Structure 1
Amino acid sequence: MHVKTDADDARIRKNGCDIRELYPWDGVVVPPWNSTLCSIRPTESSTPHGHATDETFIFISGEGHLRVATEERRITPGDVVYIPHGTDHEVTNTSESDPLTFVSIYWLQPAEHDKDA
């Protein structure tokens, strides 16, 4: 059995989020996707950004707002959001006291097959 503990895992600060890397898991498994546990501090927002990977957010605690391109919506625990690669997005924690926490799963789409084949 392989176990990662919250107390032992390192955190980094990236894109305005406190991030704990879940996968790939060095020495255990390298799946075709990566994932992180993300936390946004009270009243803060992630840095607006986009990237080459498709991404899914699974919100697990807290409340806030999510902007994907020009679309905005309120988010609560249990919401699942897909964000296509290259799309600018930003998450805002609207709480004065509690973190907004979500899992981010992200992956590169396979290259398009040669259309002439």
Structure 2
Amino acid sequence: MYVKTAADDEQIRKNGCDLRQLYPWENVVVPPWNSTLCSIRPSESSAPHGHATDETFIFTGGKGHVRIGEEERAVIPGDVIYIPHGTHHIVTNTSDSDPLTFVSIYWLQPSEQGEEQR
């Protein structure tokens, strides 16, 4: 059995989010995707940014709103959002007291994987 604990994992701050890297996980199978646990502090937003990877957010706590390209909507726990690669996005926590938490899963599309290896 392999176990990661929050106490043992490094937390970093990137793009205005507090992050805990889940995968890749050293000495454990490497899946075709990466993932992080993300938290936006109360009344804060992530930095507007985009990636070369496709991305999915699975919201697990708090409340806020997400802007993907020109679209914006409120989010609550249980919401799942897909973000195509190259699309700018921003996540905002609308609570004054509670963090907005979500899992981010991201991957390169097969055509981009082949291009990356060239």
Shared fold per TM-score greater than 0.5: yes
Structure-to-structure mapping, 1:1-117, within 5 angstroms? 1-111=1-111
Structure 1 unaligned segments of length 5 or more: list them: none
**1:89, CA displacement in angstroms?**
0.2
After superposition, what is the alpha-carbon deviation per residue over 1:16-52, rounded to whole angstroms, capped at 9, x for unaligned? Answer: 0000000010111211000000000000000000010
User: Which amino acid is the alignment partner of residue 72 of structure 1?
Assistant: E
SS at match of 1:111: helix
Choose between structure 1 and 2: higher helix proportion: 2
User: Which amino acid is the alignment partner of residue 104 of structure 1?
Assistant: S
Structure 2 unaligned segments of length 5 or more: list them: none
- Which structure: larger Rg? 1
C-alpha distance in structure 2 between counterparts of 1:30 and 1:11, whole Å: 20
**1:67, CA displacement in angstroms?**
0.2
Task: Work out the percentage of aligned pairs sharing the same amino acid.
Answer: 77
**1:92, CA displacement in angstroms?**
0.1
C-alpha distance in structure 2 between counterparts of 1:3 and 1:14, whole Å: 24
Structure 1 length normalisation: TM-score?
Answer: 0.94
Structure 2 length normalisation: TM-score?
Answer: 0.93
SS at match of 1:46: coil
| Deviation >2 Å, runs of 4+ | none
SS at match of 2:82: strand
User: Which amino acid is the alignment partner of residue 45 of structure 1?
Assistant: S
Query: RMSD across aligned C-alpha pairs, in angstroms?
Result: 1.1
